[in-house]
Amino acid sequence: MKGSEAIVASLKAAGVDTIFGLPGGVVIPLYDALYDSDIRHYLVRHEQGAAHMADGYARATGKTGVCIATSGPGATNLVTGIANAYMDSSPMVAITGQVRSGLIGTDAFQEADITGITQPIVKHSYLIKDAKEIPRVFKEAFYIASTGRPGPVVIDIPADCQLDEIDYSQPEKIQLLGYKPTLKGNMKQIKAAAKLILSAERPVLYVGGGIVNSGAHKELAELARLLNIPVTTTLMGIGSFPETDKLSLGMLGMHGTGYANYAVTHSDLLIGVGVRFDDRVTGKLETFASGAKKIHIDIDPAEISKNIGIDVPIVGDARGILGELVRELKKARPGKTATRAWNKQVSDWKKKHPLSYEEGESDIAPQHVVEEIYRVTRGNAIICTEVGQNQMWSALFYKHTKPRHFITSGGLGTMGFGFPASIGAKVGQPRKTVIDIAGDGSFQMTIQELATAVNYNIPVVVAILNNQYLGMVRQWQELFWGKRYSNTCIECQPDFARVAEAYGALGMTITDKKDIADAVSTAIKAKKPAVLDFRVRQDENVFPMVPAGKSITEMIGGHK
């Protein structure tokens, strides 16, 4: 069969039934092979949208997302999406066309060295030189993308390799000499961790995206409830522990809750699971949980002691390790009394420093929109976000209870991610209500994907918290730059409701807070893509806030 047919056969062998992409000159053979295949291909309007959709699909389903772009500009348009998947450890295979082999290196039309360009932002990449490599490379790529610490893999395929005839057969096994992720935790280390946990008086579980990727939420809850250990999540860990639980501290860090930051700072044992001690979480490293012993469970050994010294590291898959840890702890028949005083302290902090904002008469507080979305969806929706204030309010004011229900660009902080990601999530989870909580700035970065959503009738809801500012930068300018609002006002903007209608979606503008809930439920029931333009208070800030580089207890605003 032809190389292009071998690609389709390899995709099917990998279990792929959904692809996002946009064709171009050198991938015409591949698209020709897809034409006869039962793989559903979603045609996007910009390749960045395809990468984010594949990423959103992956995060909502746990399966590997797949996107296709042509050579040159098609491939470079994927770059932001690939970097985004890399930073948030999202499994993705990005297929790019390349000019034919003989032309590589000659600056041919639409030639770009995409394996070179993406080298720092991929888990691995392949430039296929011979069509015979196709079955092996695809098998390896899906294995690498989805195992260990997941991440994006790029496969660059010259046009001639798509046309060459090969004898297709699926390789039986994968032979990767240099890739053997450690999954099972070292028992000695697990025992050492159990010992520390049993002797702790002020323990805190600090958990992140690793819990979601590993599907370890049940084991996490069991561990937390066994000894009544308070749990705080990173932005990526949101949903891995129900925020309705009394042990939940919500998110920690720069825009974390006051009580999460106090609890971490005063803890005597910090149990980090699937986290990477990122600067947005730790603030000033020297004062981060400085009185605490630290256990760090992570599948990536390079994360251990990267930013902060660890007393008991355990490398492996979080789910298996937490399961073992619970079994080990149960042997000691622990009571819950050891943490009683600590939980009392935590609950005092919760009372003293609750999340808060001021409600207006009829004007709309952005936080209130998020709360209303929570109320209308009963907390069952998949929430995607853009980046900035909308993202932080979505993290803080919606009570997240389920893993894979909060999809956000954590590491890279990609404005324009949320909307295409919501399309990918809805494709992967068609029965779920999917809402992208957006900012007016972010939404305009990938707004053209409204055509994709309408084209395939993918009924996602975009809720724009429209403050006519690049709000988070405006907030920094207000707080740290003497209110010099350099280039953050974006008052010149389209009427989003009419733009939505022009694309064939539902569009609504909401200016009174009493109309929020109705608008949200109308949009959900519309059974077609909908854009809700909430004209919110312009100068609202995200609080609490820890200024960059300060200790996480040096919070400003939002708590008394």
For residue 549 the two structure tokens come to: 């580089």
Closest to another protein by CB, 249 vs 297, is 297
CB of 301: closest distance to another protein in angstroms? 5
CB of 274: closest distance to another protein in angstroms? 17
Phi, psi of 303 (to 5 degrees): -80, -20
| Options 124-132, 281-289, 318-326, 496-504: segment touching another protein (CB under 8 A) | 124-132
Q: Residue from 36, 167, 177, 486 that binds another protein (CB under 8 A)?
A: 177
CB of 119: closest distance to another protein in angstroms? 5
The contacts of residue 401 (CB under 8 Å, 6+ apart) are 239, 242, 243, 244, 379
How many angstroms separate the CA atoms of 441 and 458, rounded? 23
Q: Residue from 119, 290, 356, 511 that binds another protein (CB under 8 A)?
A: 119
CB of 305: closest distance to another protein in angstroms? 7
Closest to another protein by CB, 181 vs 504, is 181
176 binds another protein (CB under 8 A): yes
Are the C-beta atoms of residues 467 and 366 closer than 8 Å to each other? yes
Q: Residue from 15, 35, 38, 120 that binds another protein (CB under 8 A)?
A: 120
How many angstroms separate the CA atoms of 313 and 532, rounded? 46
Q: Residue from 75, 79, 92, 144 that binds another protein (CB under 8 A)?
A: 144
| Options 177-185, 276-284, 331-339, 386-394: segment touching another protein (CB under 8 A) | 177-185
Measured CA distances, 429 to 324, 404, 432 (Å): 31, 10, 6
DSSP string, 255-270: T--HHHHHHHHH-SEE
Q: Residue from 4, 115, 189, 446 that binds another protein (CB under 8 A)?
A: 115
CB of 194: closest distance to another protein in angstroms? 25
CB of 123: closest distance to another protein in angstroms? 7
146 binds another protein (CB under 8 A): no
492 binds another protein (CB under 8 A): no
Phi, psi of 536 (to 5 degrees): -95, 170
Measured CA distances, 413 to 164, 407, 417, 506, 540 (Å): 41, 12, 9, 28, 20
Closest to another protein by CB, 306 vs 550, is 306
Site for another protein in 244-303 (CB under 8 A): 300-302
For residue 161 the two structure tokens come to: 């390799």
Phi, psi of 366 (to 5 degrees): -60, -35
Q: Residue from 102, 105, 116, 354 that binds another protein (CB under 8 A)?
A: 116
CB of 12: closest distance to another protein in angstroms? 24
Are the C-beta atoms of residues 443 and 415 closer than 8 Å to each other? no
How many angstroms separate the CA atoms of 560 and 542, rounded? 15
Closest to another protein by CB, 282 vs 422, is 282
For residue 115 the two structure tokens come to: 């394996």
Closest CA to 310 of 180, 192, 219: 192
123 binds another protein (CB under 8 A): yes
Distance of alpha carbon 70 from its chain centroid, rounded? 25
Are the C-beta atoms of residues 349 and 523 closer than 8 Å to each other? no
179 binds another protein (CB under 8 A): yes
The structure tokens 């302290």 sit at 345
Site for another protein in 417-456 (CB under 8 A): none
The structure tokens 């702790």 sit at 200
Binding mask 292-311 for another protein (x = CB under 8 A): --------xxx-xxx-----
182 binds another protein (CB under 8 A): no
Binding region for another protein (CB under 8 A): 115-116, 119-120, 123-124, 127, 129, 144, 176-179, 300-302, 304-306
